[in-house]
Amino acid sequence: MAVKAALPEGTKVPCHVGVIMDGNGRWAKKRGLPRKFGHREGAKTFREITRHAKRLGISYITYYAFSTENWKRPQDEVNAIMELFEKYLDEVRDFIEENIRVRFIGDRSKLSENLQRKMASVEEDSKDFDSMTLVLAINYGGRDEIAHSCRALAEKVRRGELEPDDISTELIEQNLYTEEIPPVDLVIRPSGEQRLSNFMIWQAAYAEFYYTNILWPDFKGSDLEAAVLDYSERNRRFGGI
């Protein structure tokens, strides 16, 4: 895709970028602050990076905001994160004005009804927008998502609408939460950890990975550009030569 901002001519911009927003807790700890301050600061980075991604010509950006494993955290931290979602979902509406489509992936049934309502309404109000798609992974787990797809297909088999032999990788894919969202090209993980932590394990099968020690609240537009430039130099073979 053509380059729109700050990047050198000829840069190959990934169509879909996945971001594992990590390091909020350590950012706060370094400053002697409670962890929730790190989450608040991380939410600011999220808004800044989303706008920058759009300027760079990225078509899809998915953020890992809360994993199916994050419920293991102390209740007060989980509550603080959920309160932040409530607040920031109102602000996500600003993105709608910028022609950005907003989608959510993950198991919503465990979230508060109020949050679920807000998510549905943002999705509905932005469904026709096409400058970029912003995907938020909330109570998302890659394994949970694959199980969800399998259940949907098993139900079709039970109803006699599908033969087991017809279950293909395409059908599994069509029943993931990311239906109609292309595979991830580049996964960015700040904070120094080098793992997926159950993020997009299906969709990232052929993704390129970019790790940096910068903590998410300190991550800047220039860091996103550095990741894209690094990606642009990679030779993606997809099993070929």
User: What does the binding site for Mg ion look like in residue numbers (CB under 5 A)?
Assistant: 22
In the residue annotation, 22 being an active-site residue is answered as yes
SS3 142: helix
Catalytic residue among 70, 107, 218, 230: 70
Structure tokens at 85: 């979602």
Catalytic residue among 22, 24, 185, 223: 22
Task: Name the minimum Å distance from CB 45 to ligand IPE.
Answer: 11
- Longest alpha-carbon distance in the chain: 59
Task: Name the minimum Å distance from CB 182 to ligand IPE.
Answer: 21
In the residue annotation, 144 being an active-site residue is answered as no
Is 102 or 200 the residue whose CB approaches ligand IPE more closely? 200
Task: Name the minimum Å distance from CB 224 to ligand IPE.
Answer: 16
Name which of Mg ion, ligand IPE, none residue 24 binds, using a CB cut-off of 5 to 8 Å depending on partner kind: ligand IPE
Chain contacts with ligand IPE (rule: CB under 6 A) = 20-26, 64-67, 70, 81, 191, 193, 195, 197
Distance in angstroms between the alpha carbons of the first and the last residue of the chain: 23
DSSP characters over 27-94: HHHHTT--HHHHHHHHHHHHHHHHHHHHHHT-SEEEEEEEETTGGGS-HHHHHHHHHHHHHHHHHHHH
Name which of ligand IPE, Mg ion, none residue 12 binds, using a CB cut-off of 5 to 8 Å depending on partner kind: none
Catalytic residues: 22, 70
